[in-house]
Amino acid sequence: MQDWSAFIAAMRVGGWVVYPLTVLAVLAIAIILDRAYVFARFSSYSEQNLVTVPRGNAFRRVAEAITGNGATPIWLREAKAQAAAVHIERDMGRGLWVLETIVTAAPLLGLLGTIVGMMHSFQLFGGQGLVNPGGVTGGVAQSLVATAIGLVVALIALFAFNYFSRRLERMMDDLEAFATEKLAEIRLDQETLEAAT
Is the full-model pTM beyond 0.85?
no
- Residue 61 has φ and ψ, to the nearest 5°, of -65, -40
Q: Tens digits of per-residue pLDDT, 147-197?
A: 888 999 999 999 999 999 999 999 999 999 999 998 888 888 888 877 877
Query: With helix as H, strand as E and coil as C, how does 71-133 read?
Result: CCCHHHHHHHHHHHHHHHHHHHCCCHHHHHHHHHHHHHHHHHHHHHHHHHHHHCEECCEECCH
Cα–Cα distance measured from residue 96 to residue 179, given in angstroms and rounded to the nearest whole number: 25
Count Cβ atoms within 10 A of the Cβ of residue 101 and give its class: 0-12 exposed, 13-18 middle, 19 or more buried.
Answer: middle
Q: Pick the most confident of 21-30, 37-46, 68-77.
A: 21-30
Q: Which residues of 32-48 are buried (b: 16+ CB within 10 A; e: fewer)?
A: beebeebbeebbebeee
What letter does residue 136 receive in the DSSP assignment?
H
The residues facing 126 across adjacent strands are 129
Phi and psi torsions of 44, nearest 5° = -85, 155
Amino acid at 113: G
How do residues 46-95 score in pLDDT, each as one tens digit? 665 666 777 788 888 888 888 876 677 888 889 999 999 999 999 999 99
pLDDT score for 162: 97
